Structure 1
Amino acid sequence: MTAGHYDEGLPKTAANYAVLTPLMFIERAATVYPTRPAVVHGDVRRNWSETYARTRRLASALSSRGIGLGDTVAAMLPNTPEMVEAHFGVPMTGAVLNTLNTRLDAATLAFMLTHGEAKAVIVDREFSGVMREALKSVPQPVLVIDVNDPQYTGAGESIGEIDYDSLLASGDPACEWSPPSDEWNAICLNYTSGTTGNPKGVVYHHRGAYTNALSNILEWDMPKHAVYLWTLPMFHCNGWCFPWTVAARAGVNVCLRRIDAKTVFDLIRREGVTHYCGAPIVQNLLVNAPDELKTGIAHKVHAMVAGAAPPAAMIEGMERLGFELTHVYGLTEVYGPATVCARQAEWSELDIGERARLNARQGVRYHLQDAVSVRDSLTMEPVPADGETIGEIMFRGNIAMKGYLKNVPATEEAFRGGWFHTGDLAVAYPDGYVRIKDRSKDIIISGGENISSIEVEDVLYRHPAVLAAAVVAKPDARWGETPCAFVELKAGAEVGAEELIAHCRKHLAGFKVPRAIEFCELPKTSTGKIQKFELRKRAGSVAAIDV
């Protein structure tokens, strides 16, 4: 007997099979919870029925202007209602949403618009100047749609053929739309940061967006009607798929144009925010805010942090706020987070230092990710789960990109051996958790010894005066490379290089101690990640200290 007999007379039909797409989440939210709040932005308050109607208007209006299957619609927007709507209205037409990093320069934006063959771009007035300049270098015609957000009071002008509200007014709120014919169809295009050369275009498919959106719910035990604050830019990995996650839970999108501690705490109190995401810099901003800003929050707030591992000081600070911190890890190519440091009940009995060590790990695979593994990048064999042997973190499963747009060699290399190669070096533990040791390009090789920049940074973060730290390689005539630390201090804190070096000596082998320290504000991306490539350029000129 073969498996074939289970297919005989048992066809795949519309009755028993539907493609997986996160677009179905908003239709359900509007049908089941039409009057529940969906979007809050200043004085703007809309329910799910109204929001669904607006996304259908957007889809209808774009379709009437010739935008459809496989076309690209770019969005140069902060975290406003229009960005939420674009995550549904654009792919409802069959088109692909390309969310643009609002901190990019005109030349980089022009490359993305050209490479992605954008047929339209939705532009907030704040970014009209850089977008006008970028469009001068784009060869194809682009429909420019202006957004005039009343929350924005700065400079800017209309540069488009039509404004967003007029565009929606021309659309049908009852527009009939269809899910994609294939869940493998592209839903979004995201560009990597491109620190060297042009950025790569990462293509997401409907199936991946669907599965990661649901995994977010499962990892966070996210309830119905959660109130989600948009501290994480929606342009970054499509907000880690949370525009679709919030719709799946019929939650509330609390929009936020720009992060500052007072506004965040005010919104948490006023709107009853239950969940938010952010890089370590965002969590540090809140932990180190003046005490008077933090009062009056009586409910549990769930915070998700990605990027650098949360140090003990951050975990303690979050606990004092009454915030529960979840550590996740991922990359643009895996839709944002794809592993989670799943907490075990017995960890709560441990001291803060041991809890910080355990929570610093990147953890285990997301529920709907097939696998995460630490492997030898050449042999593709898994490394021993001993917490010591270094390999490369690799992913496999539905929560992985289709590939890089118009870049077959890079796609083949990324998926070599049937796994997605992250480029992050890590170890595996006997309990199945993984922990990053460094990016392959960030390992410091000093006198033939490998030094993890993350290990040195973890020690620096333990000093009470340190707000942020980054360690890179500094060329050295004798050792080849030595660690060079760039340190940003907390407001009002004072500490000298010698004190920090003495602090490091207590916790690190001598060859790992930084031999140069510079105090400065660290350069960061729009998502709060420290730009180490900028610091590498400066490391050679930082004066060495005799350690």
Structure 2
Amino acid sequence: MQPMTFEPTAESIAPAGVRYRIGLSQQTLRNVNFTPLNPLSFLLRAALIYPDHIAISHPNSPQPVEYTYRVWAQRIQNLAYALIQSGIKPGDRVAVIAPNCPLIADAHNGILAARGIIVCINTRLLKADVEYIIQHSGAKLILVDHEYVSLVEDVSVPTIVSLDTGRVGDPYEAFLSNGRRFSQERGWAGLEMETDEGAGASLNYTSGTTGRPKGVLCTLRGSYLAAISNAYESRLSRTSVYLWILPMFHASGWTYPWACTFAMLKQITLRTVDIESIWSHFLHSGVSAYCAAPTVQISIVTSPQARRLPSPVSAIIAGAAPTSNLIGALESLNFQVCHVYGLTETYGPFTRNYDRPEYAKLSLEERAKLYARQGHSFAQADEVRVVKVDKEGRRRPEMVDCDDLEPGEVVTRGNIVMKEYFQDKRATDEAFRGGYFASGDIAIRYPDGSISIQDRSKDLIISGGENASSLAIEQELSAHPDVLEVSVVARKHDKWGERAMAWVILRPSSKDKWEGKGKEFEEDLIRFAKQKLPGFACPEWVYIVTELPKTSTGKIQKAVLRQRAAKL
């Protein structure tokens, strides 16, 4: 790609002799052998060591921008002072509504520098849900990208709009410039690092598929440790280039905004998931790592631009287990698959499927089944457990471990588990019952200690008294040569209570083959399934569709599919 010609605003230029040393309280200074953990420290360290290294590149915007760590750190300092000038006090929540762009990257650091709590809001939510989150979080200020102003036009909370230009005349730039003037050049020393590492860093809201979204409060300490975990597990370093495909608003980007500054690397931000632009960056921008759900990965490997990369790129996958077809396609293009698992309540990923030397001797299909496991816990997380459940499928309070290969609920505890559900003690107490956080996922544990998710408890298909895993069925059906993507849900059955229903997207090369032959394809896929699955798990119905309902982060919305199935 051509070098970018861009000049930051005058207020973004750091003064001569700048020191990246934030103020410490007397309480902190009294404890010489203890400093509260805070991911903001990663940015200051990067700006000190590599001030002229590119921190943020935003090339696909109508007005591209690029910031070195020196410039970016100054802008974040300006943001912190601007927030304080606006009345933000320690513990106050600041809402951010933006796609992947410098604004949301700034906010993950600048709000912490002002000792506030960032509330990232999904840009694809309904207006009513956005208003609920703003009200429930008690946000005192909103930073919003210009494309999403309509979501907050009826909200009586002060709002700063970003035009995403980085140039004079942009209201967000004026906000930063005012912050610089308000600072009176006190610099980082004029700000103060939060003394309590247990204080909130981010407040991330769940999808709300079973009711109102719940606010997941994550701490500075947890964010710090989770970010280091992600940097380590993804093998990020100063020479890495991280491409933002995963939305930063999703669980604070799994803490990757801070993992990237810990690694002191270059981040490339994309406002939209545009596959052509993604491939251009794979081929021309030195990208070495990215995160994306399997549905996005499928779009990557089936793109007309797809070709084998000259250097390996780490493809971090979460949201669903990758299939053998997807793993094979990624590997053939020189992507290195890294399968992780986690939830908003665990700061994003907290387990990883670790590669082993003996896997190299296995066939692709054998390796894919092993890669599909969720694996073992990250270095900063406690051991993940699978515990026995009661008659309703919920964990028992005494937390009895399941025997190997016996289904149970995934539970965990430790450094990278949320602090609480914000303003919801009942939900917090229920989630933490027995001293562990309950995931709601049903899994089995193998003798080597690795786990494999069988299903969300609500997605299990109970057919004739047998439990069938929709994920296991999807894994097998995806091996059919004409299947591009598949999702399986339960549908009522007069005899068996429930049976599996498969919703299938065909491969582009197979569409003509099955045009107008939906019934024939259904019979063909069911025959294929019977070779691999027990009878109670074989799909009873197969529907060919052109698309599947998905969340903004690429997860298939099975609740929507179940509703559609119930009407058939």
In the superposition, the TM-score normalised over structure 1's length comes to 0.91
Task: Report if the CA contact (8 A) 2:483-2:506 is conserved.
Answer: yes
The residue number in structure 2 matching 1:236 is 250
Q: Which of residues 265, 277, 295 in structure 1 aligns to 2:279? A: 265
Q: Aligned letter for 1:149? A: D
Contact conserved, 1:383 with 1:428, CA < 8 A, in 2? no
Tell me the distance in 1 between the aligned counterparts of 2:366 and 2:191: 52
Counterpart residue number, 1:108: 129
2:179 match: secondary structure: coil
Question: Would the aligned equivalents of 1:386 and 1:429 in 2 still touch at CA under 8 Å?
Answer: yes
Indicate yes or no: 2:302 matched with 1:281. Answer: no
What SS class does the counterpart of residue 371 from structure 1 fall into? Answer: coil
- Once the two structures are superposed, the pairs formed by residues 390-401 of structure 1 within 5 Å of their partners are 390-401=407-418
- Residue 164 of structure 1: aligned partner: 172
**8 A Cα contact 1:228 1:274, kept in partner:** yes
* Structure 1 segments unaligned to the other structure (5+ residues): 1-10, 152-160, 543-547
Residue 530, structure 1, aligned to residue 556, structure 2: yes
1:382 deviation in Å? 4.1
Partner of 1:189: 203
Q: Distance in 2 between matches of 1:45 and 1:406?
A: 39
Q: Which residue of 1 aligns with 2:3?
A: none
Paired residues for 1:407-426 under 5 Å: 407-426=424-443
The amino acid that maps onto 1:417 is G
CA distance in 2, matches of 1:217, 1:29: 14
SS state of the match for residue 508, structure 2?
coil
Amino acid aligned to 2:241: V
Q: How does 1:31-110 map to 2 (within 5 A)?
A: 31-42=48-59, 43-110=64-131
The amino acid of 1:273's aligned partner reads V
Aligned to 2:354: 342
1:143 pairs with 2:155? no
Task: Please report how far the alpha carbon of residue 460 of structure 1 lies from its aligned counterpart in structure 2 after TM superposition.
Answer: 1.3
Q: Which runs of 5+ in 2 are unaligned?
A: 1-27, 389-394, 515-520
Q: Is the 8 A contact 1:338 1:399 kept in 2?
A: yes
Structure 1 partner of 2:510: 493
Q: How many Å separate the matches in 1 of 2:147 and 2:225?
A: 34
Question: Following the alignment from structure 1 to structure 2, what is the Cα–Cα distance between the partners of residues 312 and 385?
Answer: 28
1:61, 1:81 → 2: CA distance? 16
Give the letter for the 2:129 counterpart: T
Q: Residue deviations 1:292-339, cap 9 Å, x none?
A: x13473111111000211111111111111010100000000000000
For 2:254 and 2:101, locate their aligned partners in 1 and report how far apart those are by CA, in whole Å. Answer: 16
Whether the aligned pair in 2 keeps the contact of 1:474 and 1:536 (CA below 8 Å) is yes
Distance 1:12 1:102 in 2: 41
The equivalent of 2:533 in structure 1 is 508
Q: Which amino acid aligns with 2:38?
A: T
1:294-333 alignment runs, 5 A limit: 294-295=306-307, 297-333=309-345
Q: Which moved more, 1:332-341 or 1:64-73?
A: 64-73
Q: Which amino acid aligns with 2:522?
A: A
Confirm whether residue 352 of structure 1 aligns to residue 367 of structure 2.
no
Paired residues of 1:36 and 1:48 also in contact (CA < 8 A): yes
Whether 1:17 and 2:34 are equivalent positions in the alignment is yes
- Whole-angstrom distance in 2 between the partners of 1:347 and 1:167: 53
Aligned-residue offset at 1:500: 1.1
Q: What is the alpha-carbon distance in structure 1 between the residues aligned to residue 174 and residue 342 of structure 2? A: 38
Letter in 2 for 1:232: L
SS at match of 1:515: strand
Superposition deviation, residue 150 in structure 1: 4.5
Distance 1:274 1:529, change over 3 A: same
State the Cα distance separating 1:537 from its structure 2 match.
0.5
Q: CA deviation at 1:466?
A: 1.6
Letter aligned with residue 167 of structure 1: F
Cα distance between partner residues in 2 of 1:350 and 1:356: 9
Indicate whether 1:540 and 2:552 are aligned: no
State the 1:533 CA deviation.
0.6
Once residues 32 and 483 of structure 1 are traced to their aligned partners in structure 2, the CA distance between those partners, rounded to angstroms, is: 56
Checking the alignment, whether the CA contact within 8 Å between 2:454 and 2:472 is kept in structure 1 is yes
Instruction: Answer yes or no: is the 8 Å Cα contact 1:226–1:246 preserved in 2.
Output: no
1:89–1:379 CA distance, 2 compared to 1 (3 A): closer
Q: Partner amino acid for 1:353? A: E
Q: How far 1:129 moved relative to its partner?
A: 1.9
Distance 2:470 2:36 in 1: 44
Deviation by residue 1:65-92 (Cα, 9 ceiling, x = unmatched): 1112111111110000111110000111
Deviation, 1:224, is 2.3
CA displacement at 1:411 relative to structure 2: 0.0
| Higher mean C-alpha displacement, 456-465 vs 393-402 | 456-465
Q: 2:456 maps to what in 1? A: 439
SS where residue 384 of structure 2 aligns?
A: strand
* Preserved CA contact (<8 Å) 1:385 1:430: no
Deviations 1:191-250 (A, max 9, x none): 001112211000000010000000012212222231000000000011110110110111
- 1:485-527 Cα shifts (integer Å, max 9, x gaps): 1112222423421111111111111121111112221100000
CA RMSD of aligned residues (A): 1.7
Q: Does 1:383 align with 2:401?
A: yes
CA distance in structure 2 between the aligned counterparts of 1:197 and 1:265, rounded to whole angstroms: 38
- Residue 227 of structure 2: SS of its match in structure 1? helix
Secondary structure in 2 aligned to 1:294? coil
**What secondary structure, in the 3-state scheme, does the structure 2 residue paired with 1:418 have?**
coil
Amino acid in structure 2 at the alignment position of 1:284: I
Preserved CA contact (<8 Å) 2:308 2:334: no
| CA–CA distance in structure 1, aligned partners of residues 308 and 71 of structure 2 | 32
